[in-house]
Structure 1
């Protein structure tokens, strides 16, 4: 009985871990969206697109941005393959080959429609969109891990190892293209029905999405949720006749009904969370310490829409506040929906995207959005103040008594006061290590050493680890090294180390490959 339970738990952990890895890998292709959105917007007729320099018409800038949006599925395939394979170029090449093969077969198998001239073409209403790129990215990365070290007989030796990966990916993609060409049309109908159901809920549907979007941040699965709403929900035939899907894609293609599932994030990111920072500073026992932590995070949220530095500042020490934050985000999306506010973003709902898209033809009520933002700023300030004081929550600058953390616990180690470590690990080397390598070595030791780690990846603000034994992890020591929280679910562990996480992860993985690591 216990072995069955242990097996099912392990399977569940691996499934969740795989989903989190996919969610992390989605960040790489999503990172190209700001460039695409900026180019597409600048090239519009109401900005640079109307300028002529002799025979040169600057609407080509919009064409450059549109080229990225038009090829998002391929970009997703490449980005995910790179992310899941640890940055291997052969996996990326395999993803390109696999995507081209898959798309060609898929478009040939799905129902065809007859044009006016009698020619047949794939039904444009049946599309996998970025899901096809996600599928091929996962497949190519998996095949890379399985076959990148394959040894073939000598007479076929040239095609072994990494060179074999694109070859096998092509044949697997051919088979997948055939399978999905058959099964996808009814699935596509089901997805469209789900989308129609969400849209029919109106403000309630937008509110549910906003609530879940924030609530899933600790697991990293909000990226998976966003992929549907931003890149699959709904369809719109653009001016050039191309059918696009997703609230984000439709908005930049000019759909006047798009933007509902993005607008509500602006009040939260530009006004709400910065106001929450003011509340946390106002009620801190050490206001200067709290300000040092939160002011830069508030500016980042306001200007760029990057919210994780703020959210992780209170997520672990005051989870009640995080639930309140998720509820407020849901209400912000619902309110903006009810007020018919529509605006989109290429990266996130910060001031940069707001200014770029303020005058876009299908943006509605942007001035009203500012008013809603001010109201939410006031709400966030007073709601956070109430919960912090009423429940004596351990937010930055006031949590050292309830959490055992120093007042400056969330700052990078280089910015904090020295912390005495009784069991700090050091290894003699000919040349002094840089600070981040030393930190990575100590984090590795606190994780139980290299023998306790099956896999480790870095994300924007956290390390994602699959461990052998979670009870070997030294949480107090990780927090003394700068971790603002440790999330454990079975063998899946996330350690929030802030924006230095990706650099720490790369150094840990390098250390894991060395034979002389002291653990």
Structure 2
């Protein structure tokens, strides 16, 4: 079950990768179309506004169609064969489901306690998906339908029909089965989901009333679940669905940007619920403190090499919000430090929230600038000055706490390895191949992927493979023949996280291309 949950969490990241660019478009577009910032140039009749409004509306594509996006993207990571066709099947059946649901509610809405004559949005519980007026089931509904389609696809795609029915093979057969499955699913949804919406409303009230303590617990758990690959399941209902605000916190914040930019009131008074998205505070300010502590405690003869390791992985955390490379340098050799990191991250976010910092700060500096600093700096610069003051103070706190604990307990963090002969710098792929008598090729770097596959026990030991934003997630048949973490670091990865038969090879931001080559080797 854990392996399936981790695989699902990795698949969830596929559409999330689009958010950074969409956020930049919205942030810049909002900046240049806000009259409080641009003056008369941002009037709707001005050519400046009209040109930038095109960019702004295009940027909304991802956020306005989140359920559709998640429904179509999930098969990329979870379909066991013909992923592209599975995505098409998911699209068709997701729309079919909502046409069924829309018709059921239009005809018998009162039977299910739904007033289908209401306008979409607000407290009506209704929304528009691909121009279909339907029940607002958010991301949960999208994942439910996509999950059903993926099951049908994996089970029936290869079914061979008689030759005279050959035109119905493959995707057509999957859609045929799904068509009739969607009818009872739509009926059950019409009956059950209004009750779920009522429960969600109550839960939203509970979360909002937890205040500072709720923010602390949420951030702490988000960090703590990263090694297990389960953090996506914690934050996704908050960020992209209706757990706190209608439509998800990302979408709601982006919608609020013009109002926030035009107001001089404090951001916290305007959007008090946006403290749960402060997960990025530790990425921008905590990770540099960790890196400084590693450098300061490294042995003098290894400091230069440690610096070469820490600079790129720290910049990845600060700018892109991807923390696995730096966190996995100490997670397994000093797990107590990781728990301390979780506590400090939660405390940093909570202190910032108490000081009035709210907004979309779950990613790195690029995302934060696009959705916060750029569009809102003019009217809320004092809030961001406080944010940076608190963040820099916690960089120092992180440094002091980590340095003290590393020295006190003699943790073998980078540059302090117990084995004096072990080089702190992870072997580059080229160096390792030369050591093994291999050379890089001018084409695809398949030797690197071959070594990953070898470390996992070979093609015959692979059950399935997927990936998230930085990790190659593999389920193996026999975990006892998988090589250790040191081997994977030596070949150029950031290490291996193993739990039972579930293996996560920490690759970095190039993991998608590595997975492609990995699957080519499996198919060879």
Q: TM-score, normalised by structure 1?
A: 0.84
Change (3 A) 1:463 1:116: closer
Q: How many residues align?
A: 480
Change (3 A) 1:212 1:276: same
Q: Give matches, 1:230-249, under 5 Å.
A: 230-234=239-243, 244-249=246-251
2:389 is the alignment partner of 1:371: yes
Q: 1:88 aligns with which of 80, 83, 88?
A: 83
CA shift, 1:263, in A, is: 5.2
CA shift, 1:235, in A, is: 6.2
Specify the alignment match of 2:92 in structure 1.
97
Specify the alignment match of 2:172 in structure 1.
163
Specify the alignment match of 1:253 in structure 2.
255
CA-to-aligned-CA distance 1:300-352 (integer Å, 9 cap, x gap): 2222222222112222222221111111111122212222211215x714255
Aligned equivalents of 1:467, 1:132: Cα separation in 2: 31
Aligned equivalents of 2:509, 2:25: Cα separation in 1: 27
Specify the alignment match of 1:406 in structure 2.
423
Aligned partners of 2:8 and 2:78 also within 8 Å: yes
Specify the alignment match of 1:313 in structure 2.
329
Aligned equivalents of 2:97, 2:22: Cα separation in 1: 25
Change (3 A) 1:290 1:96: same
Specify the alignment match of 1:198 in structure 2.
207
Q: 2:348 aligns with which of 325, 332, 345?
A: 332
Q: 1:301 aligns with which of 317, 323, 327?
A: 317
CA shift, 1:165, in A, is: 2.5
Q: 1:388 aligns with which of 406, 428, 441?
A: 406
Aligned partners of 2:114 and 2:194 also within 8 Å: no
Specify the alignment match of 2:516 in structure 1.
506
Specify the alignment match of 2:372 in structure 1.
357
Aligned equivalents of 2:23, 2:51: Cα separation in 1: 19
Secondary structure of residue in 2 paired with 1:260: coil
Gaps of 5+ in 1: 1-14, 237-243, 515-519
Q: Give matches, 1:25-36, under 5 Å.
A: 25-36=11-22
Aligned equivalents of 1:300, 1:479: Cα separation in 2: 18
Q: Give matches, 1:4-83, under 5 Å.
A: 15-44=1-30, 45-46=33-34, 50=42, 52-53=46-47, 56=50, 58-83=52-77
Aligned partners of 1:251 and 1:258 also within 8 Å: no
Aligned partners of 1:251 and 1:259 also within 8 Å: no
RMSD of Structure 2 on Structure 1 (CA): 3.1
Aligned partners of 1:210 and 1:329 also within 8 Å: yes
CA-to-aligned-CA distance 1:362-411 (integer Å, 9 cap, x gap): 96822211111111111111111111111111222222529x853112x6
2:490 is the alignment partner of 1:480: yes
Gaps of 5+ in 2: 106-111, 128-134, 258-269
Change (3 A) 1:161 1:399: same
CA-to-aligned-CA distance 1:113-132 (integer Å, 9 cap, x gap): 26589xxx964396321112
Q: In proportion to residue count, which structure has more helix?
A: 2
Secondary structure of residue in 1 paired with 2:328: helix
Considering Cα pairs closer than 8 Å and 6+ residues apart, tell me whether 1 or 2 has the greater RCO: 2
Specify the alignment match of 1:344 in structure 2.
360
Q: 2:288 aligns with which of 254, 274, 286?
A: 274
Aligned partners of 1:304 and 1:350 also within 8 Å: yes
Aligned partners of 1:233 and 1:245 also within 8 Å: yes
Secondary structure of residue in 2 paired with 1:253: helix
Aligned partners of 1:290 and 1:408 also within 8 Å: yes
CA shift, 1:490, in A, is: 2.5
Aligned equivalents of 1:187, 1:219: Cα separation in 2: 28
CA-to-aligned-CA distance 1:220-265 (integer Å, 9 cap, x gap): 11111111110224566xxxxxxx3222222112183266235533
Specify the alignment match of 1:220 in structure 2.
229
Change (3 A) 1:200 1:412: farther
Aligned partners of 1:147 and 1:162 also within 8 Å: no
Specify the alignment match of 1:7 in structure 2.
none
Q: Give matches, 1:414-433, under 5 Å.
A: 414=430, 416=431, 420=435
Change (3 A) 1:388 1:69: same
CA-to-aligned-CA distance 1:184-224 (integer Å, 9 cap, x gap): 22223223323322221111111111011111111211111
Specify the alignment match of 1:241 in structure 2.
none
Aligned equivalents of 2:185, 2:422: Cα separation in 1: 51
Specify the alignment match of 2:126 in structure 1.
124
